[in-house]
């Protein structure tokens, strides 16, 4: 696409997908405008696990050196039972190799790295996209202050509850994930874990992941749809019999309730991610339960693929279809792998405990081998 048109690409949302799209377009010499409803990037998700293909995407975005300085490497995974019995281990170092070594990083650090260099001319922060419609000539965008923008291409990177998706797609509902209905995230002092460590139990699971030498990122998930997000007593009870390290981190978080973030786990499954001059990327197109921690990786890969398609064509209305063709198989692979493991995670605890030593290493290899660049 000729670069004089490039000012007219508008990106809805300055999350991982939006910032990566801005950056990938910039690498192709194409300017764009990011519209983000928040004044500063949100870090309510606290931290994020980046598997090897996310690290590879960051390298393609020109950030190989920067990512190595953030967070903590994730060299191995341990899957444990509620009584601390080790069910499976994965040597992530051996699987991904040094150049794609997974990392756990603070979300705020990741956002700052992706957005470095984004100046006011390319960024409308603290402005929400309120409405979108399109005609043959352009996509028309109305902001919450009444301001109107028009774009030759509108990239909907506005997350799982995307306004852009709702405006342009006939079916746009989110669905509850199969894995679990609710989860909580927190940071706590490291109770003694040295890698990705998941304990799975009768009524819930808890994951601890070091983000630096002293701190772990924690994620607890429950499958009790009726539990109120602030019912901390219930949370405490479900994990009462869990091993000391898991208990210690969770107890710290429960004693500091302001540090606990509740998140529903919602998914978006669509046959089509584009309509005319509008293309959806990241969670807006395909939010998937974080079973394989692929959300950021897929969002950044979307950005790289979209930018190369945009750079290679003058026919804007074909971009969406080409993008779908390039990305749908990979995304469907992650969705299918997510569904398979979510189903296994819902088996009765006794059975799960029995089969996890066999299915975990196999599903890890099957899922990530196909995603290795």
Ligand X SMILES: Cc1cc2nc3c(=O)[nH]c(=O)nc-3n(C[C@H](O)[C@H](O)[C@H](O)COP(=O)(O)OP(=O)(O)OC[C@H]3O[C@@H](n4cnc5c(N)ncnc54)[C@H](O)[C@@H]3O)c2cc1C
Q: Which residues bind ligand X (CB under 6 A)?
A: 12-18, 35-38, 42, 45, 48-49, 128-129, 157-160, 163, 183, 185, 263, 265, 282-284, 290, 293-297, 299
Q: How far apart are CA 159 and CA 156, in angstroms?
A: 8
Of 32 and 353, which CB lies nearer to ligand X in the complex structure? 32
CB of 51 to ligand X, least distance (A): 7
CB of 132 to ligand X, least distance (A): 9
Pseudo-torsion of CA 58, 60, 63, 64, nearest 10°? Answer: 90
Of 185 and 353, which CB lies nearer to ligand X in the complex structure? 185
Of 265 and 353, which CB lies nearer to ligand X in the complex structure? 265
CB of 19 to ligand X, least distance (A): 8
Q: Is the separation of the CB atoms in 174 and 161 below 8 Å?
A: yes
Of 36 and 301, which CB lies nearer to ligand X in the complex structure? 36
Q: Is the separation of the CB atoms in 343 and 363 below 8 Å?
A: no
CB of 42 to ligand X, least distance (A): 6
3 state SS of 178: coil
Q: How far apart are CA 345 and CA 178, in angstroms?
A: 9
Tokens of 290: 């974080």
b (16+ CB within 10 A) / e for 162-194: bbbbebbbeebebeebbbbbbbbbbbbebbebe
Of 27 and 317, which CB lies nearer to ligand X in the complex structure? 27
CB of 343 to ligand X, least distance (A): 19
Q: How far apart are CA 142 and CA 297, in angstroms?
A: 30
Of 279 and 353, which CB lies nearer to ligand X in the complex structure? 279
278 phi, psi to nearest 5 deg: -115, 130
CB of 314 to ligand X, least distance (A): 27
What single DSSP character describes residue 86? E
């Amino acid at each position: 696409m000729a670069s004089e048109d490039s000012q007219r690409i508008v990106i809805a949302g300055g999350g991982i997908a939006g910032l990566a799209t801005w950056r990938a377009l910039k690498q192709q010499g194409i300017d764009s405008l990011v519209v983000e409803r928040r004044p500063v990037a949100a870090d309510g998700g606290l931290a994020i696990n980046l598997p090897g293909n996310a690290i590879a995407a960051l390298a393609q975005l020109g950030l190989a050196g920067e990512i190595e300085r953030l967070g903590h490497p994730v060299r191995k995974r341990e899957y444990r039972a509620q009584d601390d019995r080790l069910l499976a281990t994965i040597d992530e170092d051996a699987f991904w190799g040094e150049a794609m070594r997974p990392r756990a990083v603070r979300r705020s650090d990741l956002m700052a790295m992706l957005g470095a260099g984004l100046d006011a001319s390319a960024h409308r922060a603290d402005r929400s996209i309120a409405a979108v419609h399109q005609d043959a000539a352009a996509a028309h965008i109305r902001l919450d202050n009444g301001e109107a923008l028009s774009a030759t291409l509108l990239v909907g990177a506005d997350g799982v509850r995307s306004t852009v998706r709702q405006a342009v797609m006939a079916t746009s509902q989110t669905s509850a994930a199969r894995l679990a209905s609710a989860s909580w995230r927190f940071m706590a002092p490291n109770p003694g874990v040295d890698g990705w460590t998941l304990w799975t139990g009768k009524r819930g699971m808890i994951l601890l992941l070091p983000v630096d030498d002293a701190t772990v990122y924690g994620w607890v998930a429950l499958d009790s749809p009726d539990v109120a997000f602030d019912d901390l007593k219930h949370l405490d009870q479900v994990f009462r019999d869990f091993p000391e390290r898991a208990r210690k981190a969770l107890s710290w978080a429960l004693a500091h309730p302001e540090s606990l973030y509740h998140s529903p786990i919602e998914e978006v499954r669509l046959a089509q991610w584009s309509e005319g001059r509008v293309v959806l990327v990241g969670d807006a197109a395909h939010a998937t339960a974080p079973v394989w921690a692929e959300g950021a990786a897929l969002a950044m890969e979307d950005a790289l693929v979209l930018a190369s398609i945009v750079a290679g064509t003058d026919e804007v209305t074909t971009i969406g279809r080409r993008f779908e063709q390039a990305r749908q198989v990979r995304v469907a692979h992650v969705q299918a792998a997510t569904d398979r493991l979510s189903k296994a995670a819902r088996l009765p605890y006794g059975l799960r405990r029995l089969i996890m030593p066999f299915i975990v290493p196999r599903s890890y290899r099957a899922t990530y081998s196909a995603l290795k660049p």
